[in-house]
Amino acid sequence: MALHSHILIMAVFAVCVGAVAGVLLKDEVREQVRTGGAIAGGLVGMAIVVGWLLYFLPL
Amino acid sequence: MASRKQKAPIVKAPPPPRLASSALAVCALSWLVPGVGHLWFGRRQKGLVFLVMLPLMFAIGIALKGRLFSLLPLDLGDPLVALAALADLGAGLVYFVAKGLGYGAGQVVAVTYEYGNAFMIVAGLLNSLVVIDVYDIALGRK
């Protein structure tokens, strides 16, 4: 399967969740895109931030 | 004997049972096939997005070698499995089709195993939210 990259899988997951949540929460297309993009971006951004924070923790 | 007129107590009428039952029927249909409830009520764009995205997420989960959790046999010693099974069931018909076709056995040693689980569980949970939205639409709240 092509999805071997962890970050790619995470990005696909974030886009899927953002698309569904944006469409579910808002009625107008422009707002749906904005909300979905914010959710997807937030998921990816938070994952990267938390990932870096965990990097500094000793195992 | 003096007759006294008694006023009938004012009772707020409950919603017509037909409306409630038809709303539940559409919800059940929407649970089985994501997006059908929105299509039923003429919300075509929303319905089509749900119809495509939720089964797609579920399929990606299976392709990533995730596991389809089952409620049976019920193991109370492992409540997280039961919760994951409930979430998976939220996906509706695709869950039963995938089970019937033998998909979703899950490969614990696969790198993508947990990702697959996350895709399928979240697809089921999102479909549950979609069903709740359909119920609100059916009752005229949205």
In this structure, what are the phi and psi dihedrals at residue B17, rounded to the nearest 5 degrees? -60, -30
Closest-CA distance of chain B to residue A8, Å: 11
What type of residue is B35? G
Is the omega angle on the peptide bond into residue B73 within 30 degrees of 0, that is, cis? yes
Q: Which residues face B67 on adjacent strands?
A: B105
Distance CA B97, CA B1 (A): 74
pTM for this predicted structure:
0.86
Residue B5: predicted pLDDT: 61
Q: What pLDDT, in 10s, does the model give residues A6-59?
A: 899 999 999 999 999 999 999 999 999 999 999 999 999 999 999 999 999 887
Position B15 scores a pLDDT of 57
pLDDT number for residue B78: 82
A17 near B CB under 8 A: yes
In the block, which residue shows the tokens 């998909």?
A: B103
Task: Give chain B positions within 8 Å (CB) of A20.
Answer: 49-50, 53-54, 57, 126, 130
Is B53 at the interface with chain A, CB within 8 A? yes
Give the model's pLDDT for residue A58: 83
Q: Give ipTM to 2 decimals.
A: 0.89
- Judge whether B49 and B56 are in contact, CB under 8 Å: no
pLDDT of B123 reads 98
* CA–CA gap between residue A19 and residue A6 (Å, rounded): 20
| Best residue in A24, A25, A28, A39 for a mutation probing chain B (most B CBs within 10 Å) | A24
B33 in A contact zone (CB under 8 Å)? no
Tokens of B129: 């939210």
Q: What is the pLDDT of residue B6?
A: 66
Q: Which residues of B touch A6 (CB under 8 A)?
A: 115
Instruction: DSSP letter for B67, please.
Output: B
Contact A1 B64 (CB under 8 A): yes
Rounded CA gap, B140 and A24, in Å? 16
State whether residue A29 sits within 8 Å of chain B by CB. Answer: yes
Q: What does each of the 142 residues of chain B score in pLDDT, given as a tens digit?
A: 455 566 666 666 555 656 778 899 999 999 999 999 999 999 999 999 999 999 999 999 999 999 999 888 777 778 899 999 999 999 999 999 999 999 988 889 999 999 999 999 999 999 999 999 999 999 888 8
